[in-house]
């Protein structure tokens, strides 16, 4: 039986990231890339365990999250450096190639890895994200829609993001985070507040603090477009279409599947911008059918 292994990896001068591995060491590697300001524990334990039955699964804390270093305030970095970190994690763990699964900002970082280092990627699964491409979306009726005209983030989420985060203690912070997950989860599946409260409690215990960094929101996001590279892609790519997605709503996944050459689309009904237990089974099935079929 495999064991969970924790290890720190130096990804840049003065930048050390916490990593965790589980699954047979000789199984094909699978790298989980979480979203903005989210640590590795955003990937639910049951889903990670299910994937680890077939893969050597790696999850890690981004810079300025979890147990990783927090260099931004003294040494600001661009968002693109977070994609370089993903490759550096593979380097630090001695992994030549991996399946890459990215959620939200992690889906953008996975696109950067796919475009800039395709030789390191066995396959990619992208969810809850947008295309790093200027190519317009083509509707079913043949009409082209400029990227700037695709639907944006739900107003209630933008309003919550704009509010200053005040410190009223741990339980109040948990209340705030659960309210955030309620919005992110969409309105097509019942919301399990207790599940997300316990998830966030484990995230806070892992980090040792309930103070969140805003580093990723403040980081320079320029220079991330990869229109030509994605159009020339030759790596197997799966795009997950979440029907209740409120951050990058439909047709963002359809657009992504159009602009990444060879990509295929799978729909998970009811899924929003979160990973509640109700989507673990369908998501596990979709990912493993993709990775094991490569």
Domain range annotation of the chain: 5-292
pLDDT at 77 over 80: yes
Percent residues over pLDDT 70 in the chain: 100
Average pLDDT along the chain: 97
Q: Is the pLDDT of residue 1 over 80?
A: no
Contact status, residue 77 vs residue 219, Cβ threshold 8 Å: yes
pLDDT digits (tens, 9 = 90+) for 177-192: 999 999 999 999 999 9
Predicted pLDDT of residue 156: 97
pLDDT digits (tens, 9 = 90+) for 242-261: 999 999 999 999 999 999 99
C-alpha 150/C-alpha 130 separation (Å) is 10
pLDDT digits (tens, 9 = 90+) for 22-45: 999 999 999 999 999 999 999 999
Q: What's the pLDDT at 294?
A: 81
240 burial via Cβ count (<10 Å: 0-12, 13-18, 19+): buried
| Domain 5-292 CATH (choose: 3.40.50.720, 3.40.50.150, 3.40.50.1820, 3.40.718.10) | 3.40.50.1820
Instruction: Please report which confidence band the pLDDT of residue 212 belongs to, taking 50, 70 and 90 as the band edges.
Output: confident
| pLDDT at residue 3 tops 90 | no
Q: What pLDDT shows up at residue 256?
A: 98
Each residue of 98-133: pLDDT tens digit? 999 999 999 999 999 999 999 999 999 999 999 999
Tokens of 181: 């997950």
Rounded-to-integer distance, Cα 85 and Cα 113, Å: 10
The candidate with the shortest Cα–Cα distance to 220, out of 35, 72, 116, 15, is 72
pLDDT tens by residue, 154-163: 999 999 999 9
pLDDT surpasses 90 at 203: yes
**Does the pLDDT value for residue 82 go beyond 90?**
yes
């Amino acid at each position: 039986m495999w064991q969970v292994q924790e290890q720190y990896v130096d990804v840049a001068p003065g930048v050390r990231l916490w990593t965790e591995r589980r699954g047979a060491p000789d199984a094909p590697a699978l790298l989980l890339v979480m979203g903005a300001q989210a640590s590795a524990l955003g990937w639910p334990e049951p889903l990670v365990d299910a994937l680890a039955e077939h893969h050597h699964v790696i999850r890690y804390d981004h810079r300025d999250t979890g147990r990783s270093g927090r260099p931004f305030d003294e040494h600001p970095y661009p968002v693109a450096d977070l994609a370089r970190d993903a490759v550096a994690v593979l380097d630090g763990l001695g992994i030549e190639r991996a399946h890459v699964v990215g959620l939200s900002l992690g889906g953008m970082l996975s696109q950067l890895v796919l475009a800039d280092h395709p030789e390191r990627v066995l396959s990619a699964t992208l969810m809850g994200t947008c295309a790093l491409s200027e190519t317009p979306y083509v509707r079913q009726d043949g009409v082209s829609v400029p990227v700037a005209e695709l639907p944006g983030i739900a107003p209630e989420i933008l309003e919550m993001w704009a509010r200053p985060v005040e410190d009223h203690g741990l339980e109040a912070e948990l209340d705030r985070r659960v309210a955030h997950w309620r919005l992110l989860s969409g309105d097509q599946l019942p919301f399990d507040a207790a599940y997300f409260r316990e998830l966030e409690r484990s995230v806070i215990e892992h980090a040792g603090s309930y103070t969140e960094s805003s580093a990723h929101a403040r980081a320079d996001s320029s220079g991330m477009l990869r229109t030509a590279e994605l159009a020339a892609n030759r790596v197997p790519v799966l795009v997950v279409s979440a029907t209740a997605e409120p951050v990058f709503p439909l047709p963002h996944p359809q657009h992504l599947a159009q602009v990444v050459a060879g990509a295929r689309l799978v729909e998970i009904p009811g899924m929003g911008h979160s990973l509640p237990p109700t989507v673990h089974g369908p998501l596990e099935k979709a990912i493993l059918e993709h990775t094991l079929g490569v």
